[in-house]
Copies of this chain bind each other. A is one copy, B any other.
């Protein structure tokens, strides 16, 4: 990158024959600039194609009008959330920047603390944290957490009714006649994962089915971990006839594992997922899953954050949206008719 090729405020000032302060005033529409000077500076700005450096500006001003969305990775869930966030940002006057920690969060717990430290106060006025790995990120800037970490926290949070969702999925399988129902659990540090598992256990218990712990394996919301765990789960002689996976990614991985083992879905194993990301409809067979309104969660998170930044009192500290069952074709009656 050649030095000096970027147009700075000094270039504009020099070309217009004024000081940088004057140019700054023109840019920020401050009072005290002669109409003629104003016009001349504006012309030079146009001519040179000058735009103020966001970085330099935010180092001075503490308000930047950009909000950050910090995600562990860019995968179906987080990108779906981004669509909702984008919907909500329009017309607010804020801009959106997304930071991705680049997956593999396992080897870097606390990435959001790091990112927040690096960005907040400068660059962003507030942040939405998606599936954070820690509970307490105390910062001066407003923060909203989506699908938060377990444990008590003073953060504002958005989530969906994971407990009910877990129950719904399991009850569906029970209703189809399954009794040996396995579960691929999620990222144990997230509330959502714990609640989905709890819903699973509650539903089984309510139906008088004892949980066989050998049928519960960790999928960690991760496709690779899930595919291994699912293979293991489905390999035994006494394998489950149905599997509830804690998210769609794991459910898809389960179908993959089943296929590798020569098992057909849903004829030999039924699979139910969680999330209802668009990919769940693409998979073969189309996935029966629990819908959580991901886009709406992204929207609410941004709305809440913007209100906070504007100094308004939030009307609620924890928002929980509804979940519901979406029946497609990956689960069917047992024993097979």
Give the B-binding residues of A (Cβ under 8 A). 1-3, 5-7, 49-56, 58-59, 62, 73-76, 79-80, 82-83, 85-86, 89-90, 95-100, 102-104, 113-114, 117-123, 125, 139-141, 277-279, 281-282, 286
Expressed in whole angstroms, the Cα–Cα distance for A50 and B232 within the complex equals 43
Please indicate the chain B residues that have their CB under 8 angstroms from the CB of A113 in the complex. Answer: 49, 51
A251: min CB distance to chain B, Å: 15
13 A-B residue pairings within 8 Å (CB atoms): A5-B139, A6-B140, A50-B117, A53-B117, A53-B119, A54-B122, A75-B83, A75-B86, A89-B100, A89-B102, A96-B102, A98-B99, A278-B279
Of B5, B52, B98, B117, which is within 8 A of A51 by CB? B117
Asked whether A49 and B117 contact (CB < 8 A) given A5-B140, A54-B122, the answer is: yes
Residue of B nearest to A85 (CB): B74
Please indicate the chain B residues that have their CB under 8 angstroms from the CB of A98 in the complex. Answer: 97-100
B281 touching A1 by the CB < 8 A rule? no
Of B59, B100, B141, which is within 8 A of A95 by CB? B100
Expressed in whole angstroms, the Cα–Cα distance for A139 and B6 within the complex equals 8
A86 touching B102 by the CB < 8 A rule? yes
B86 touching A100 by the CB < 8 A rule? yes
Please indicate the chain B residues that have their CB under 8 angstroms from the CB of A83 in the complex. Answer: 74-76, 79
Copies held by the complex: 2
Please indicate the chain B residues that have their CB under 8 angstroms from the CB of A279 in the complex. Answer: 278
A54 touching B123 by the CB < 8 A rule? yes
Please indicate the chain B residues that have their CB under 8 angstroms from the CB of A103 in the complex. Answer: 86, 90
Asked whether A118 and B53 contact (CB < 8 A) given A1-B141, A62-B3, A95-B100, the answer is: yes
Please indicate the chain B residues that have their CB under 8 angstroms from the CB of A95 in the complex. Answer: 99-100, 102
Expressed in whole angstroms, the Cα–Cα distance for A55 and B57 within the complex equals 10
Please indicate the chain B residues that have their CB under 8 angstroms from the CB of A97 in the complex. Answer: 97-100
A54: min CB distance to chain B, Å: 4
B96 touching A96 by the CB < 8 A rule? no
A104 touching B90 by the CB < 8 A rule? yes
Asked whether A121 and B6 contact (CB < 8 A) given A55-B59, A79-B83, A102-B90, the answer is: yes
Expressed in whole angstroms, the Cα–Cα distance for A59 and B98 within the complex equals 20
B100 touching A96 by the CB < 8 A rule? yes
A309: min CB distance to chain B, Å: 9
B1 touching A62 by the CB < 8 A rule? yes
A118 touching B51 by the CB < 8 A rule? yes
A292: min CB distance to chain B, Å: 15
A321: min CB distance to chain B, Å: 19
A1 touching B140 by the CB < 8 A rule? yes
Please indicate the chain B residues that have their CB under 8 angstroms from the CB of A2 in the complex. Answer: 140
Residue of B nearest to A62 (CB): B1
